Each structure stands twice: as structure tokens, then as C-alpha cells.
Amino acid sequence: MPGPIAFQGALGAYSHEACQAARPDWEVLPCRTFEDTIEAVRAGRARAAMLPVENSIYGRVADIHRLLPESGLHIVDEAFVRVKIALLARPGVKLKDVKTARAHLVLLPQCAAFLRAHGITPEAASDNAGAAADLAANGRNDEAALASALAARTYGLDVLAEGIEDEDTNTTRFLIMEPDARMDRRGSTGMMTTFVFEVRNIPAALYKAMGGFATNGVNMTKLESYMVGGSFTATRFYADIEGHPDDRNVQLALEELAYFTSYLKVLGTYPRDPRRD
């Protein structure tokens, strides 16, 4: 089998689900942290990394934007996974028996209504699939885990309820990153380009830097800021645009951006996933 593709978390994690959907024929390599995931690719133990960047309910994944520019990897694809939360229990356990449910602190509020309606107390865990693995190995019959149906199959647990998330639009966007950039045009839905930049210390620099995208008709789908170097004055911006760097309007916009920036790095060019729509 080709691969492997590395991801953060235990087997059965939503990132594992993303790997199966995007690279179904590849082996997978679970890793403890995002840094370990990136290092697995840099060290040659994995061919690619599957990294979550944002969730439609929770927002940006903490620290991931900071890691991407220094990773040495390039974005080659994006993937969207609909987050379907399942309540998992040991075989034979009934819903009425469950008193507590464990999951990552980010996941717990996403199914708060279901837990409240069934009198189940949420408890924080370091990892969703890890909570499922712990339940299978050491859990009690009054405990449950909140994770994917894939985690249930992985650890031999029963699914007591599925699709219990409060919002039926709950989706996570992932980036697939590899050591070598791919600049070829792929797919039939257009291309995306992602980059990070820091503006020069001049008045209205960000406003002027963004002007080139408007005047050249380039659609910017995301612009986020985050601090770098522990300083309140050093701000870096992460941006997604529609188009390829070889497109003339994108070329002009990036040239204008470069004039107003002290740092500019393209992280990758990749096919636009139709699930964006």
C-alpha cells in the first residue's frame, strides 16, 4: 500500500477518517502531536501529513497556523470531513445506563443538547479516539465516549447514538501536506493558493496590501491574523485565495502584496474542493 499518511491522534480519530476519505489506499500513521505529525514526513517515515486547520463550529485549530510556515512542507490538497459525533459504549450497555461521556474539550460543547437531554455528564479527555480506546480497555458500563463511528469499529464498541452534534453543518477542513510542492493544475473546480505574510510598518499597510486582490478580481476566501514571536506588534496573516500563481490576475495581486510586506511565503497551490460549496 502507498503512503503512509500521518495524522495527529489515535486510530479512529476524525483525522484518521479524513485520511481514509482522501487517500483510501494509503496506510496511516497515528502521531501524538501536530509537531510529531510534521516531523514524521520530514524524517521520511510518512509520505504526507493530514492536518486540521479549521472547524465550521469551533473555528481555527489552535497553533496550526504557527506550525505551517516553519514545517518545510507544502499544501497539495484540501479535504472536508463532516463531523458526525457518536456516543460509544462497551458492548451490551444501554443508553439509559450511561452517566458520563468523555471527549476532547472542543468536542463536548458540540453535542451539549444531547448530553443534557439524557442527563449525561461531560468529562474532558485529551483525545476523542483516545477516549474510545480507554473505554474499551479500562472503562465501566456507566461510561461512554464521544467519537466517530470509525472509532467504534476500531475498538469494538457499540454505537448507542449517532449524529448527536447540535449543528448538522459541523465540518472540519484539513490540509494534506507533502515535502514537495505541486504546481500542476488538477481537478475541474479551479485552484486555491494559500500564503502567509507580514506587512511593513507603514500606515495603512494591510489596507494597501489587500487592494491588489480587489482591483485584480482575486477572491480571498480567508484572512486571519495571529501573533508571532511572542510580540503584540509582530502580526502575521494567513490567507486563502482562489486561483493559481500563474494566473495573470493572481500574479499582479501577489506582486502588489509583496511591495507592502516584509515577509511573504506561499504554502501551497492545490485543487479547490467542491465541498466548499
Q: Among all residues, which ones are annotated catalytic?
A: 172, 174
Strand boundaries in 42-188, DSSP class E: 48-55, 59-60, 74-82, 86-89, 100-104, 121-125, 143-147, 158-162, 171-178
Instruction: Classify strands 191-199 and 143-147 as parallel, antiparallel or unpaired.
Output: unpaired
Q: 11 near 127, Cβ under 8 Å?
A: no
The DSSP secondary-structure symbol of 273 reads: P
Which of 184, 198, 188 lies closest to 244, judged by CA?
Answer: 184
Q: Counting beta carbons within 10 angstroms of the beta carbon of residue 243, is it exposed (0 to 12), middle (13 to 18) or buried (19 or more)? A: buried
